[in-house]
Structure 1
Amino acid sequence: MSFFTSLSGMKNAETDLRVISHNIANAETTGFKKSNAQFSDVVATGSASDPRRTPGIGATVAAINQDFALGPIEQTGRSLDIAINGGGFFAVASAVSGDLQFTRNGSFTIDATGALKDSQGDLVQAFPVDAAGNVTSTTPGNGMVPVTNTAGSELSSVSINRQGLLIGAYSDGTTQTVGKIALANFPAVNGLRAIGQSKWEATGTSGAATFGEPGIGNFGDMLSGALERSNVDLAEEMVALLTAQRNFQANARAIDTATAISQTVLNLQR
C-alpha cells in the first residue's frame, strides 16, 4: 500500500509542477491570471474502524484555483490600450462563433470598417450612447466607429478615455462619442473556464455575466493608455517550484525505502 500512497504523492507533485510551469511561462502574458493547485488527503476507513488506527492512503487534487488578483499596471501611452483598475472583464464576441468571451487584456485595434477588435480579431462589446456620452441601452453590442462622419470627413484617430468612452476624431477637427466600453462581472469568477489567449468563458459554476459601466458598483475604473500585466510573481513561483521538486523527490525516496524493506522481508523468508 505504501507504494501507491507515495505514487499518488508523486502524481500530485507532477500536477503542481505543471501548474507552476504554466504560471512561469505566462509571466509576461498581458492579462494572465495565475493558478494554484490545492490538494486533499485520502483516508481508507469504515464505520467500524478505530479512528486512532486509521491509515491514510495518499493525496488527490482537490482543485486548481485561479487567482484573479489585480496585476501590475504598465503605462503604454497608446490610445487604444486600456486597463481595468478593479473588478470586471472586457467582453468580446468571437469572430468565428459569435459567442461571448471575457478578458482582462485591453490591447485593442480598429479595423478598416471601424470595428473595435482585440488582438485575436474578436469584437469588443460596448454600450450605445447619445451625443453627450450617456448610455442609452444596457445591452452591449459590437463597438463600431464610423469611418466617416455626417459631414463626410474621414476618421483620423480613435481613443478610449478614463470613463471608457470610445471617441472618434475626424479630419475636419470634430470628435464624436460613439460608444462606452461594457464591463462584465460574475457571481463566482473562480468558476470561469480558461480557454486560452488570456480569455475565459462563463460556466454554470460562474453564473451568467452581468454588464455594467466602468466605475459603477463592482466594476473597476478605466486606466487609459495602460495595460494590466500578468499577476505572476516569479520569485514566489520559483520557491513553489523548489517545494514541488522536493515533494516529488521525497515521495520517490519513500518508494525506494518501501522497496528495500519489501526486499529485506522476502530475503528473510528464504
Structure 2
Amino acid sequence: MSFYTALSGLKAQQTELGVISNNIANVGTTGFKKSTAEFGDIISSAPLQTSTVAGQGTRLRGIDQQFTQGGFENSDRSLDMAVSGQGFFVTRSSQSNSQVSYTRNGSFRVDANRYVVDSSGAYLQILPTDSEGVLTATGLNSTRSLQLPLTSGTSSATGSVDLSVTFPTDADLPASRSVYTAQNPYAFDRFDPNSYNQSTTTTVYDAAGTAFPMTTYYIRQNIPSGATTDTTWVARTFVGDKEISSDPNVSAPPTPVTLTFDQFGTLSQVNGATPGAVTTNQVRPTGATGPIGFSLTYGANTKMAAAPFTLTSFSQDGYAAGQLDNVSVDSNGLVVATFSNGDSQALGKIVLATFSNPEGLRQLGDSKWSSTGVSGEPQINEPNTNGTGLIQSGALEQANVDITEELVALIQAQRNFSANAKAIEAANTMTETIVNLRA
C-alpha cells in the first residue's frame, strides 16, 4: 500500500506545482485571481475498525480562488477601470445573446460600432440614468450595452455671413484682367491667380452640419483718374465648387458682389445701392445634403486704406453638431461624454455585481467568471453601494499574486514531490529485498 500512498502524494504535489505555476504565469494578467490547492487525507474505515489506522494517502479536495484585492496600475485611458471593492464588471457576449459573464479586468476599448467592449469583444453593461445621472431602472434585465455617441445636438445651415475686408489703395489691376461687365461676366478664372488680386477662404455649413469652404476672389476693376474718384472691386464667392450669385433670382451667370469705395476709402455702395445685406441664391455644392444660401453683409469696417489686404473679421451662424471629445467615468460609475460644442451627456452608470460566495464562481478564462449555484445569484448594484466598491478610472487592477510567496511555495512543493518520490524508491527497495530473499 505504501506505493499507492506515496503515489497519491506525488499526484498531489504535481497538482500543487501546476496551480503555483499557473499563478506565476499570470502574474502580469490584469484582474487575475490566484488559486490554492486544498488537499485532504484518505482514511479507510469500517464500523468495527480500530480508531488508530494508517492513512492511505491524500486527495485533491478542490482548487480555491482567492478574491483578494490586487494592486492598481495607473493608465492614461479613461476606459481603463479598476474596482476598489468586491464588485465585478458585468459583460454580455453579444447584443442578442443573454450570456452574462463577470470580470475584474477593466481594460475596455471601443469597437467599430462605438460599443465599449473587453478584450474578447464582450459588451460592458450599464444601467440607464436621467440627465442628472440618477438611475431610472435597476436589475440585470434593465442593463444595456454602453455605446458612445459620435455627435451631440443638432446642426444648423449657415443663414447669414458678416465680414469686413481692408483693401489696399495701391493694388494693381490683375495682370490678365478683363473689366467685368454684364455682357462679359466670365473674364475671371479662379484657377488663374493672374485674374484676381486676392482671395480668402472661410467655412460655412449645410443643414446636416457638413462644412464647406467659402472662397471669395477679389478683383480690382479700376484705378481712379481724372473725374473718376471712386474705386470698384468685384467679389466672386464660391461655396465648395459652386459659385453663388448676389441676385437670388439670377443663378446663371452668377452675379458677383460689386463694392464701390469713395475717394476717402469708405464703402459707399454695394451692388450700386446703399451698403447692406445681400441675399444670395441657393447653391448645392458637391457633397451637400441640401442647398446653401445666406444673407451676405460687408460690415462697416470694410474700407480701402494704405495697408495690406486683410480679412478683418468674419462671422457666420451655421454650425455642426458637437463631435465626441472625451469620455469620463467617475468613482460612482457614471459615464459622461463631452463634445466639441460644449455639450455633456450622461450615458449611464456602470453596474457592478457581487456574490455571497465568489469562490464558487466558474472560471471562463481571460479573468472572467460565470455564476453557479455555489456562488449564488449575482446582486446587481451601482458602484459605492452594498459593498460593490468604487470605480477608479485610469487604472487597472493587477493580479493578486505575490511572486515571492509563490516562489517559496514552488520550492516547498518541489521538495514535497521529491520526498514522495523517495518514499516510492524506499518501498521499491524493500519490495526488491523481499523478492530476493532466499531460504
Question: Smaller-chain TM-score range?
Answer: over 0.9
**Partner of residue 11, structure 2:** 11
Change in 2 beyond 3 A, CA 1:113/1:150? farther
Helix, strand or coil for the counterpart of 1:23? helix
- Give the letter aligned to residue 89 of structure 2: F
Aligned runs of 1:87-166 on 2, under 5 Å?
A: 87-95=86-94, 97-138=97-138, 139-151=142-154, 152-166=321-335
Q: Deviations over 1:7-66 (max 9, x none)?
A: 0000000000110010000000000000000000001121111112x1111000011000
CA contact (8 A) 2:322 2:342 kept: no
- Give the letter aligned to residue 178 of structure 1: L
**Partner of residue 48, structure 1:** 48
Instruction: Structure 1: state its 5+ residue gaps.
Output: none
**Partner of residue 370, structure 2:** 201
**Partner of residue 79, structure 2:** 80
Distance (Å, rounded) in 1 between the aligned partners of 2:117 and 2:322: 23
- Match among 203, 214, 219 for residue 388 of structure 2: 219
Helix, strand or coil for the counterpart of 1:154? strand
Bigger mean CA deviation after superposition, 139-148 or 2-11 = 139-148
Distance (Å, rounded) in 2 between the aligned partners of 1:147 and 1:57: 67
Alpha-carbon deviation of 1:98? Answer: 4.1
Distance (Å, rounded) in 2 between the aligned partners of 1:112 and 1:158: 17
Distance (Å, rounded) in 1 between the aligned partners of 2:108 and 2:135: 21
Q: TM-score, normalised by structure 2?
A: 0.60
Q: Deviations over 1:99-146 (max 9, x none)?
A: 110000111122343311112211000010000000110032111222
Distance (Å, rounded) in 2 between the aligned partners of 1:105 and 1:132: 28
**Partner of residue 180, structure 1:** 349
Distance (Å, rounded) in 2 between the aligned partners of 1:45 and 1:113: 64
Distance (Å, rounded) in 1 between the aligned partners of 2:50 and 2:105: 54
Helix, strand or coil for the counterpart of 1:21? helix
Q: Deviations over 1:61-115 (max 9, x none)?
A: 0110000000001111321111100111000001394411000011112234331
Helix, strand or coil for the counterpart of 2:17? helix
Q: TM-score, normalised by structure 1?
A: 0.96
- Give the letter aligned to residue 48 of structure 1: L
Distance (Å, rounded) in 2 between the aligned partners of 1:169 and 1:85: 26
Distance (Å, rounded) in 2 between the aligned partners of 1:146 and 1:264: 81
* Paired residues, number: 269
- Give the letter aligned to residue 148 of structure 2: V
- Give the letter aligned to residue 396 of structure 2: L
**Partner of residue 30, structure 1:** 30
Structure of larger gyration radius: 2
**Partner of residue 411, structure 2:** 242
Instruction: Structure 2: state its 5+ residue gaps.
Output: 155-320
Bigger mean CA deviation after superposition, 194-203 or 164-173 = 164-173
The answer to whether 1:191 aligns with 2:190 is: no
| Structure (1/2) with the larger helix percentage | 1
- Give the letter aligned to residue 158 of structure 1: V
Distance (Å, rounded) in 2 between the aligned partners of 1:197 and 1:269: 62
CA contact (8 A) 2:88 2:104 kept: yes
CA RMSD of superposed structures (Å): 1.3
- Give the letter aligned to residue 71 of structure 1: G
Distance (Å, rounded) in 2 between the aligned partners of 1:177 and 1:112: 21
**Partner of residue 64, structure 1:** 63
- Give the letter aligned to residue 86 of structure 1: G
Distance (Å, rounded) in 2 between the aligned partners of 1:93 and 1:181: 13
- Give the letter aligned to residue 42 of structure 1: I
CA contact (8 A) 1:113 1:147 kept: no
Give identity over the alignment, percent: 44
Alpha-carbon deviation of 1:158? Answer: 1.7
